[in-house]
Structure 1
Amino acid sequence: MKKTLFLSATLLLAAGAARAQVDTVRATTLPPAQLAEKLYNSGVAKYNQKSYRAALQDFDRALAAKPDFAKAYYNRAAVRYELKDYQPAVQDYDQAIKLDPSTFGSYFGRAQAREALKQPAEAEQDYGKATELKADYAPAWYYRGALRFEKADYQAAKADFDAAVKADPTYAYAWHDRGSAQRQLNNLPAAIQDYTQALKLQPELLPALLNRAATRRRAGDLKGALQDYNDYLAKKQDNALAYTNRGSTRFEQADYKGAVEDFSKAVALDASYAFAWNNRAAAYLKLEDYQRAEADATKAIALNAQYAEAYLNRGHAREMLRQPDAACQDWRKAAELGLEIGNTHAANSGCGAE
């Protein structure tokens, strides 16, 4: 009887103490499932604050409390991806998929981690599964399309980019990359339209300007190409490729002085850019500045000893500088490297047999 009274008194005391404090419950008193949920929510909040190490600890503890917690595996995988721990991230996604195979996000996340691990075939499969589970999720189509583009499967890549822009018509990168697939498939007008749409959606997407310029040039629209290069270079002046391509466009328009200016800017930005040195040599040949042409072609050859076009151009310059033997040697070298026209120049100049 006394024991019963003692227990009652203890319970009353505990109840009174609870009413006197803030209405909270210690985490250690929660059932495992509730504790796991609390730690999971804390981990999500820390992830959103980019406190990845702290988030990782919370997800670890959540999984210790509830080992079959699929969402915790999924989110711990996302944290590990941000920390560049890609293989553990894949393992967590594996477990999340095992526990809940119907969630597209786990397949998409695992695909991203597998890409980071240089496993494109496996990543492509996972993106495909993500599209099966959620056909209106544009990034899954887009990233699979990018992988297919990289392996030169341009028709399949285009199909994926088609699906991406259908799922999200505002997806500028999908329009841009579909333009690149169209370009590889030689659908030049369609490529130009796609690059234009990408720029409408995201005017600062400068690669779209550069790629539209290249496509317009290939389609014979030199004026349009030049305008795109001008617009690009007005915003970004540190790209040697852009100057070189604008220089080539000017060359094709017979603006050889303008071409020299652009090739000069390209080599000032990148002195190891053999292509720009050789192109400037070609422009100097057109301007009949043979000394500079020879010097630039020689620089291109020093940077790339297998550069057939540079030997050809240097041969032309040396011919005009009254160096016939040296010219013949350069033309023959160009032919040896695959430019048969080198032999034609040698023959027409009476080089004769070696």
Structure 2
Amino acid sequence: MQAQVDTVRASTLPPAQLAEKYYNSGVAKYNSKSYQAALQDFDKALAAKPDFVKAYYNRATTRYELKSYVPAVQDYDQAIRLEPASHTAYFGRGQAREALGQRDEAEQDYTKAAEVRADYAPAWYYRGALRFEKADYKAAQADFDQAIKADANYAYAYHDRASAERQQGNFQAAIQDYTKALNLQPELLPALLNRAATRRRAGDLKGALGDYNSYISKKSDNATAYTNRGGTRYELADYQGAAADFTKAIELNASYAFALNNRAAAYLKLKEYQKAADDATKALTLNPQYAEAHLNRGHAREMLRDADGACQDWHKAADLGLEVGTTYAANSGCGGE
């Protein structure tokens, strides 16, 4: 009889190949959003090859996804140390620093990424967004210009450039950029809402109304959109339509004092004075310092023959900084408070 011999074959990869194996496995797991498993593979890759720059970068990216921002920054530091010309590492570190609230440091990283690779649109875009947050609209617009130069189909860059232009009073340019953003990405609904607001500020009320209608047809749960459409209808003297929109906003958000006060204003135009007084009172219950609500309730009370109540509201509006309250009080013969 022939004896069976058990043999065990050992196979040990060289460190560089072992690191590549774990790295590739980590990338596959990252792509399938198995971030913890990916992290373990990148750890093993770096244990086998401590100067593996791609593993540092991808481990940093994985840590960012896991919201482990401080370790992510540390890994990006290592990637940059090993490869100083890596624009993606600077950009990634900027993202992590921004997540940590380190806005100035993030801006520096985006700047460095753009310096290393001038045609890398995200670096310009994110730096522009930071500058927009600081109300440096001119600098923000310049960055969005560069992002669009690098990527002519960057819908978000057109959108945010439009917002920077709007802040500077360049309404027509803003409308054109919001339109471009929507052409590139029709489901970018904030662009539709912002274009409506810009058209309203530019005096194109019908255009604004059309945009609000389009937005609400696609997203009907936004109380602010109904309030803004109501304001547009109010300006178009469609007070019934305005009241209906403010009512919808209140249904979506019962504590929306602004919508309550706006509906009070619409009811005043519709000569429904008790409803106007009730809405203004509800708004004041939510915000006792709401000067405009005192003003509107004053008007409603005057029409309801409550002269003392009207005078009290107008004086209160004036005390809260709405000087026109003093004018109404004086014109109605109100005495001191």
TM-score range, shorter chain: over 0.9
Partner of 2:102: 119
**Larger deviation: 144-153 or 44-53?**
44-53
Counterpart amino acid of residue 35 in structure 2: Y
- Post-superposition Cα deviations, 1:227-266, rounded to whole Å, max 9, x if no partner, equal 0011111111100001000000000010000000000000
2:128 aligns with: 145
Opposite residue 92 of structure 1, the aligned amino acid is: D
Which of 90-99 and 185-194 deviates more?
90-99
Q: Are 1:334 and 2:321 an aligned pair? A: no
The residue that corresponds to 1:62 in the other structure is 45
Q: Provide the rounded CA distance (Å) in 2 between the counterparts of 1:43 and 1:31.
A: 18
Give 1:324's aligned residue.
307
* Separation of aligned partners in 2, 1:339 and 1:126: 46
SS in 2 for 1:203: coil
**Secondary structure in 1 matching 2:336:** coil
Q: CA deviation at 1:205?
A: 0.8
Aligned residue for 1:93? 76
Residues 170-202 of structure 1: CA distance to partner in whole angstroms, max 9, x if unpaired?
A: 111110111101000100000000000001001
Q: How does 1:166-315 map to 2 (within 5 A)?
A: 166-315=149-298
Which runs of 5 or more residues in structure 2 are unaligned?
Answer: 1-6
Residue 4 of structure 2 aligns with which residue? none
Give the aligned residue type for 2:78: Q
AA matched with 1:156:
A
Q: TM-score by structure 1 length?
A: 0.91
Cα displacement string for residues 269-321 of structure 1 (whole angstroms, at most 9, x for unaligned residues) = 00111110000000000011100000000111111111110000000000111
Q: Structure 2 CA distance, aligned partners of 1:129 and 1:306? A: 47
How far did residue 30 of structure 1 move?
A: 2.1
Structure 1 residue 121: deviation in Å? 1.2
Query: Which stretch of structure 1 is more off in the superposition, 293-302 or 36-45?
Result: 36-45
Whichever residue aligns with residue 165 of structure 1, its letter is I
- CA deviations 1:69-119 (Å, max 9, x no partner) are 111111110111111111111111111111111101111111111111111
How far did 1:120 drift? 1.1
Q: Distance in 2 between matches of 1:268 and 1:130?
A: 47
Q: Which runs of 4+ in 1 moved over 6 A?
A: none
Q: Deviations over 1:104-151 (max 9, x none)?
A: 111111111111111111111111111111111111111111111111
Write the distance in 1 (CA, Å) between the matches of 2:215 and 2:27: 41
Tell me by how many angstroms 1:47 deviates.
Answer: 1.3
1:3 is matched with none
Q: Does 1:53 align with 2:36?
A: yes
What secondary structure, in the 3-state scheme, does the structure 2 residue paired with 1:160 have?
Answer: helix
User: Sequence identity of aligned pairs in percent?
Assistant: 76
After superposition, the C-alpha distances for 1:22-43 in whole angstroms (9 at most, x for unaligned) are xxx83xx222222212221221
Q: Which amino acid aligns with 2:70?
A: Q
CA separation in 1, counterparts of 2:298 and 2:29? 66
SS at structure 1 position matched to 2:220: coil
Q: Which amino acid aligns with 2:82?
A: L
Moved more, 43-52 or 284-293: 43-52
CA–CA distance in structure 2, aligned partners of residues 163 and 240 of structure 1 = 35
* Whole-angstrom distance in 2 between the partners of 1:247 and 1:280: 9
**Which residue of 66, 69, 74 maps to 1:83?**
66
One-letter code aligned to 2:134: K
What RMSD in Å do the two structures reach over aligned CA positions?
1.3
Larger radius of gyration: 1
Amino acid corresponding to residue 104 of structure 2 in structure 1 = A
